[in-house]
């Protein structure tokens, strides 16, 4: 909670450290007779692993201060991130005094992974230039997370929905099993810092560009933009009910520890079209999160809308003399290394009661059968409690694992092909086939594919 003889509750209650330290309940426990907190009475969780507050960082705000590390952070066995694995002493020494031209430093980049040990990636970029300036850290993280070598590979882009192969027969079957479909990705506007490094002027500039894009949408995509800080109770309740309102940053997520939640909720907002099948989040983790969705399993319809949203943002950026962040090595650029490349997550909510019965059973191999099948197509199933769990009503969220090295069309097609196979195997189980029969069918398909490619 910083240095000084004592502080009042009002002085610290908006700091992220206040929430992490236990909030109002902890304050009541440790405050002095005068109602203030003597420092350093309570341990500051942001300083547990080394570093000090950098009062000279111009990105500091009234509700957040960035850390600076004099030495390699004191990582513990609680630190699970790829950043913690790849920030060696050599890399730290090489980059510790380096900054992007917008002033984003290595210390800024690693802060969220240091103070939030459970994160999987643990690093952020504060602007477009960071992806080159700090590549000695980012590239190993990218290879760890995606299995993609940014030094040697290039990333394709393909936003042409007409290339998808999805027959009328497949559509009929999908509409029997698939409850809903959603495709989302991040887009960021070149020239503005990303949320983890943004100034108030950056956030306002991004919002202006995006509001222009939204105002230019017509026909099916036309809709309404809501400024997060200006929501009425009725609007907030509506957005919450629909699941459109993004989460308020907490002590446990990437946004808070990265500084991306500074000055919340200024210049943040939500757009949705009238049909409520297109949704955009402004200045959350990235400049814009675009989401296309609808009930049922018409994947080409959802992807077509997604591509139209992406093109609209591109056109608005170019009309403002800039472009979307993209390069040939990493594809679409953003805040977190996990969302590079396409940054695309294509998912279906699919009803698989027979696979669900196996997951609820006692045979461990059979419990893992759905994941085994999905992995063949680089898909990830999630049950009601996330990965490796059964699903209420047998409704699983199945999505692509990959982001980098494949185009948007390729990833959506892999999702179509994979889910088609999962549904076919679900039908086998429903007709009396055993898990071993399913495994035999998978093996036969793999043998046929190997023979065809030989």
Q: Distance between CA 219 and CA 133 in Å, rounded?
A: 42
What pLDDT score was predicted for residue 37?
72
Contact status, residue 110 vs residue 71, Cβ threshold 8 Å: no
Q: Distance between CA 350 and CA 397 in Å, rounded?
A: 6
Structure tokens at 411: 């990833």
What angle is formed at CA 269 by the lines to CA 258 and CA 330, rounded to 5 degrees? 50
More confident residue, 22 or 177: 177
pLDDT tops 80 at residue 203: yes
Residue in 377, 383, 378 with CA at minimum distance from that of residue 442 = 377
What pLDDT score was predicted for residue 2?
43
Give CA 1 to chain center in angstroms: 29
Structure tokens at 112: 């969220």
Q: List Cβ neighbours of 76 (8 Å cut-off, separation of 6 or more).
A: 49, 117
What pLDDT score was predicted for residue 20?
55
**With bands split at pLDDT 50, 70 and 90, how would you rate the model's confidence at 39?**
low
pLDDT tops 60 at residue 211: yes
HEC-encoded secondary structure of 98-159: CECCCCCEHHHHHHHHHHCCCCCCCCCCCCCCHHHHCHHHHHHHHHHHHCCCCCCCCCCCCC
User: End-to-end CA distance of the chain, in Å?
Assistant: 63
Is omega for the bond preceding 40 within 30 degrees of 0, making it cis?
yes
Structure-token match 């027969």, residue found: 169
The pLDDT > 70 percentage for the chain reads: 96
What pLDDT score was predicted for residue 219?
93
User: What is the per-residue pLDDT across 260-313, written as a single tens digit (0 to 9) for each?
Assistant: 999 999 999 999 999 999 999 999 999 999 999 999 999 999 999 999 999 999
**What's the whole-model pTM score?**
0.88
Residue 16 CA: distances (Å) to CA of 198, 284, 303: 17, 16, 38
What pLDDT score was predicted for residue 450?
84
Q: What is the mean pLDDT of residues 184-188?
A: 96
What pLDDT score was predicted for residue 377?
87
Is omega for the bond preceding 41 within 30 degrees of 0, making it cis?
no
**With bands split at pLDDT 50, 70 and 90, how would you rate the model's confidence at 86?**
very high
Q: E strand or H helix at 269, and its extent?
A: strand 269-273
pLDDT tops 70 at residue 21: no
pLDDT tops 50 at residue 159: yes
Is omega for the bond preceding 265 within 30 degrees of 0, making it cis?
yes
Q: Which of 74-83, 208-217, 338-347, 360-369 has the lowest mean pLDDT?
A: 360-369
| Residues listed for the chain | 454
Residue in 336, 311, 260 with CA at minimum distance from that of residue 82 = 336
What angle is formed at CA 140 by the lines to CA 138 and CA 143, rounded to 5 degrees? 110
What pLDDT score was predicted for residue 1?
43
pLDDT tops 90 at residue 246: no
Q: What is the DSSP letter of 360?
A: H
User: What is the per-residue pLDDT across 337-346, written as a single tens digit (0 to 9) for each?
Assistant: 999 999 999 9
Q: Distance between CA 336 and CA 349 in Å, rounded?
A: 25
Q: What is the DSSP letter of 248?
A: P
Per-chain mean pLDDT for the chain: 91
Structure tokens at 115: 């103070």
Q: Distance between CA 384 and CA 397 in Å, rounded?
A: 9
Q: What is the mean pLDDT of residues 65-79?
A: 96
């Amino acid at each position: 909670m910083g240095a000084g003889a004592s502080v009042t509750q009002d002085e610290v209650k908006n700091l992220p450290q206040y929430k992490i330290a236990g909030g109002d309940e902890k304050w009541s426990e440790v405050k002095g007779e005068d109602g203030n907190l003597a420092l350093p009475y309570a341990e500051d969780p942001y300083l547990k692993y080394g570093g000090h507050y950098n009062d000279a960082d111009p990105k500091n705000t009234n509700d957040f201060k960035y850390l600076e590390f004099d030495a390699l952070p004191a990582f513990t066995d609680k630190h699970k991130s790829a950043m913690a694995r790849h920030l060696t002493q050599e890399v730290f020494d090489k980059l510790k005094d380096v900054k992007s031209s917008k002033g984003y430093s290595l210390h800024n980049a690693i802060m969220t992974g240091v103070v939030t040990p459970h994160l999987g990636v643990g690093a952020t970029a504060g602007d477009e230039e960071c992806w080159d300036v700090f590549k000695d850290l980012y590239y190993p993280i990218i290879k760890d997370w995606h299995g993609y070598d940014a030094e040697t590979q290039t990333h394709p882009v393909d936003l042409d929905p007409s290339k998808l192969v999805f027959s009328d027969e497949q559509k009929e079957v999908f509409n029997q099993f698939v409850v809903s479909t959603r495709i989302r990705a991040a887009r960021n506007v070149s020239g503005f810092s990303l949320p983890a490094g943004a100034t108030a002027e950056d956030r306002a500039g991004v919002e202006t560009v995006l509001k222009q894009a939204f105002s230019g949408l017509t026909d099916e995509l036309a809709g309404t933009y809501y400024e997060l800080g200006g929501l009425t109770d009725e609007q907030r309740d509506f957005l919450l009910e629909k699941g459109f309102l993004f989460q308020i940053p907490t002590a446990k997520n990437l946004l808070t520890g990265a500084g991306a939640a500074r000055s919340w909720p200024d210049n943040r907002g939500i757009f949705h079209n009238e049909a409520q099948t297109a949704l955009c989040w402004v200045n959350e983790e990235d400049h814009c999160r675009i989401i296309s969705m609808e009930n049922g399993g018409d994947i080409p319809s959802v992807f077509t809308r997604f591509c139209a949203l992406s093109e609209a943002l591109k056109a608005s950026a170019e009309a403002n003399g800039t472009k979307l962040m993209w390069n040939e090595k990493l594809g679409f650029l953003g805040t977190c290394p996990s969302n590079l490349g396409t940054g695309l997550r294509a998912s279906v909510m699919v009803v698989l009661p027979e696979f669900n019965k196996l997951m609820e059973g006692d045979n461990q191999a059979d419990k893992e059968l759905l994941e085994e099948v999905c992995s063949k197509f680089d898909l990830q199933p999630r049950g009601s409690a996330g990965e490796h769990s059964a699903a209420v009503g047998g409704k699983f969220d199945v999505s692509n694992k990959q982001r980098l090295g494949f185009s948007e069309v390729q990833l959506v097609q892999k999702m179509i092909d994979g889910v088609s196979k999962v549904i076919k195997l679900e039908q086998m189980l429903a007709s009396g086939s055993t898990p071993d029969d399913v495994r035999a069918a998978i093996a036969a398909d793999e043998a046929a594919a190997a023979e065809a490619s030989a």
